[in-house]
Amino acid sequence: MKKATPRRSISERDAIFSANVRLVGSVVAKLSRDAVKALGGHDDATQIGYVALLHAATCFDESRGFQFSTYAATSIYRYLLRMLGDNAAIRIPAKRYREGERAPKLASGFDMASLKKAAPPEVMPMENDDLAAAMRKLPAINRTAIERKFWHHETIRVYALRLGITPQAGAQRLHNGVRRLRNLLKAS
């Protein structure tokens, strides 16, 4: 049975929050420039961090023996990464649309089942013969992961959903494929 999360009064929570506000800036500074940009900029990333800090100040349990700063930094970082992952699949570049035009909406009948069943687009021809030969030598699992990521520009999350595996398994397949491909290209 899961232990109930301790809740603090608003004044206790606010005191903890105001004492650790600079922690958010520290965690946001450790993110890459691309990650901060994908979150909407430094100010938006900081605001997301404040929400995570507020949640951490509310739910922190000192009886577990951790310092609050350790718990909060991990919570903020995880929350930022979760928001980054949620945003990654639906971002549409703003420059594609002229001012006054509306961005296209997703079809109302869109569902993940149709994504899994969708036929993969044709593989783009490779211009480098060594690369093409090395790709043919890769196991199908790794070759597919590389093609999906670099030729079709699919995110690992979408690739994993399409195959019915976890995003971690998809990332591992891609990592192993790139490693094997480098070794094959070095050997040739």
| Contact present, 170 and 160 (Cβ < 8 Å) | yes
Task: Specify whether 82 is located in the same domain as 126.
Answer: no
User: Final residue of a domain: which of 53, 88, 123?
Assistant: 88
Collapsing DSSP to helix, strand or coil, 74 comes out as helix
128 part of a folded domain:
yes
106 part of a folded domain:
no
Q: CA 182, 183, 186, 188: dihedral to nearest 10 degrees?
A: -110
81 part of a folded domain:
yes
108 part of a folded domain:
no
Collapsing DSSP to helix, strand or coil, 97 comes out as coil
Sign of dihedral through CA atoms 84, 89, 94, 96? Answer: positive
105 part of a folded domain:
no
Model pLDDT, residue 133: 85
Task: Specify whether 81 is located in the same domain as 119.
Answer: no
Long-range contacts, stretch 133-138, CB < 8 angstroms, 24+ apart: 133/188, 134/181, 134/184, 134/185, 134/188, 135/181, 137/184, 138/177, 138/180, 138/181, 138/184
Question: Is the overall model pTM greater than 0.85, yes or no?
Answer: no
Per-residue pLDDT tens digits of the chain, which is 188 residues long: 455 556 678 888 888 889 999 999 999 988 888 788 878 888 888 888 998 998 888 888 888 888 999 999 999 988 888 887 765 444 444 444 444 444 444 444 444 444 444 444 444 445 577 788 888 899 988 888 888 887 777 788 887 877 788 888 888 998 999 899 888 888 87
Q: Which domain holds residue 137?
A: 113-187
Model pLDDT, residue 6: 61
Task: Specify whether 15 is located in the same domain as 54.
Answer: yes
| Contact present, 16 and 68 (Cβ < 8 Å) | yes
Q: Please report the beta strands in 3-77, taking only residues with DSSP state E, as ranges in sequence order.
A: none
14 part of a folded domain:
yes
Task: Specify whether 125 is located in the same domain as 75.
Answer: no
Side chain identity, residue 93? P
Task: Specify whether 56 is located in the same domain as 117.
Answer: no
35 part of a folded domain:
yes
Task: Specify whether 69 is located in the same domain as 14.
Answer: yes
Model pLDDT, residue 105: 44
CATH number at 166 reads 1.10.10.10
Q: Interior CA angle at 168 toward 149 and 135, to 5°?
A: 35
| Contact present, 149 and 170 (Cβ < 8 Å) | no
5 part of a folded domain:
no
Collapsing DSSP to helix, strand or coil, 59 comes out as helix
Model pLDDT, residue 23: 92
| Contact present, 48 and 25 (Cβ < 8 Å) | no
Task: Specify whether 18 is located in the same domain as 80.
Answer: yes
Side chain identity, residue 86? D
How many structural domains does the chain have?
A: 2
Task: Specify whether 142 is located in the same domain as 179.
Answer: yes
Task: Specify whether 128 is located in the same domain as 163.
Answer: yes
Q: Which helix (H) or strand (E) holds 5?
A: none
